[in-house]
């Protein structure tokens, strides 16, 4: 059995909740799983086992975390005190059910999944089999595996009262900031992050294309600071941070933008209009007077 020499959590309670003594298994060695393996190793844990469907991912994980022995998901789960399920969101339900049905759950071992979409309830089959479960999702993009990629970020933690303390401690061991998110709010929470991260990336990519079309060969010189500051202001102040022609009600400027785009980059027109409509709704919330709002609305409706 992979990592069989590691002490199980139930046998080693050197800290009040056992986190400091944990041996780790990672099931799902993609970018997040590998990043967590590296970070946990740096925090003093021993990652004893890894399991995954793609041989390439497993090989890359072992190259990064040499203490981990590749094995089946069932054997990996039985080898460790803490099992991390870092599989894709859509696979998580099946993986949890399959592991519970295969008798992979050792009583009182800890199980954490890192899906943003789900709370702890998705691990109910594992809990019924005797495991202790929690959902811990890092609110950070991980374009490539790196031990410091998650340092300092907020984590959404969902667990029942019996499991909250050790789940929070796990996050703090990774230099993270644990924030409790209710079970019933997880899908809404995940939608918010998808808009904030993927939506922002899509919008900035559109802005980059527009600058390139304007002959600017280094769009990052204009966008990096602007986008970073705008995003930070909006995260703090919401609609109050909105600026620009829609916020001011400059209907003629909006009309000029659309007229130019229809000629120079017509494929960008639908996206520009959709974003302007969204901005207009927040501009109204921020206090844009109705006359100016109606003028912008008329341009967007043409």
Instruction: Tell me the two tokens of residue 166.
Output: 């050790």
β-pairing, 154-158 vs 132-138, is antiparallel
- The residue ranges of every structural domain in the chain are 9-181, 188-301
Give the Å distances, CA to CA, from 176 to 48, 102, 120, 133.
23, 33, 19, 19
Quickly tell me which residue has 């929470």 as its tokens.
Answer: 189
Average pLDDT on 159-184 reads: 97
> According to the model, what pLDDT value does residue 245 have?
98
CATH 3.40.50.720 fits 9-181, yes or no: yes
Inter-residue contact 87 to 26 (CB < 8 Å): no
pLDDT confidence tier of residue 18, bands split at 50, 70 and 90: low
Position 11 pLDDT exceeds 80: no
Give the Å distances, CA to CA, from 182 to 117, 148, 157, 164, 187.
12, 27, 8, 12, 10
Q: Kindly report the number of other CB atoms within 10 A of residue 173's CB atom.
A: 16
How many residues does the structure list for the chain? 302
pLDDT digits (tens, 9 = 90+) for 97-143: 999 999 999 999 999 999 999 999 999 999 999 999 999 999 998 87
pLDDT confidence tier of residue 159, bands split at 50, 70 and 90: very high
pLDDT digits (tens, 9 = 90+) for 64-83: 999 999 999 999 999 999 99
Position 224 pLDDT exceeds 60: yes
What's the CA gap between 177 and 61, in Å, rounded? 25
pLDDT confidence tier of residue 17, bands split at 50, 70 and 90: low
Say what percent of the chain tops pLDDT 70: 93
β-pairing, 82-85 vs 110-113, is parallel
Predicted structure pTM score: 0.87
DSSP 179: E
CA-wise closest residue to 135 among 176, 180, 175, 90? 180
Position 252 pLDDT exceeds 90: yes
What's the CA gap between 183 and 133, in Å, rounded? 13
pLDDT digits (tens, 9 = 90+) for 234-249: 999 999 999 999 999 9
CA-wise closest residue to 138 among 105, 173, 165? 173
β-pairing, 154-158 vs 177-180, is parallel
Say what percent of the chain tops pLDDT 90: 88
């Amino acid at each position: 059995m992979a990592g069989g020499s590691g002490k199980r959590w139930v046998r080693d309670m050197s800290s009040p909740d056992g986190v400091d003594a944990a041996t780790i298994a990672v099931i799902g060695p993609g970018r997040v799983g590998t990043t967590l393996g590296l970070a946990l190793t740096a925090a003093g844990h021993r990652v004893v086992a890894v399991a995954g469907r793609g041989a390439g991912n497993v090989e890359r994980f072992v190259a990064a975390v040499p203490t981990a022995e590749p094995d089946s998901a069932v054997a990996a789960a039985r080898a460790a005190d803490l099992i991390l399920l870092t599989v894709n969101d859509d696979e998580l339900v099946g993986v949890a059910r399959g592991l519970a049905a295969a008798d992979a759950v050792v009583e009182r071992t800890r199980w954490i999944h890192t899906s943003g979409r789900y709370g702890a309830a998705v691990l109910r089959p594992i809990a019924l089999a005797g495991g202790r479960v929690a959902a811990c999702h890092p609110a950070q993009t991980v374009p490539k595996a790196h031990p410091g990629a998650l340092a300092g970020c907020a984590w959404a933690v969902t667990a029942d009262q019996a499991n909250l303390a050790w789940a929070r401690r796990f996050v703090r061991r990774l230099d993270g900031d644990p924030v409790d998110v209710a079970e019933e709010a997880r899908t809404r929470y995940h939608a918010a992050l998808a808009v904030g991260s993927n939506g922002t990336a899509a919008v900035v990519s559109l802005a980059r294309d527009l600058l390139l079309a304007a002959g600017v060969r280094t769009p990052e010189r204009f966008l990096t600071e602007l986008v970073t500051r705008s995003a930070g202001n909006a995260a703090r102040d919401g609609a109050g941070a909105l600026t620009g022609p829609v916020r001011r009600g400059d209907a003629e400027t909006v009309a000029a933008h659309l007229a130019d785009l229809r000629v120079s980059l017509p494929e960008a027109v639908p996206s520009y209009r959709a974003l302007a409509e969204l901005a207009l709704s927040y501009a109204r919330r921020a206090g844009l007077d109705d006359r100016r709002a109606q003028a912008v609305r008329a341009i967007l409706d043409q």
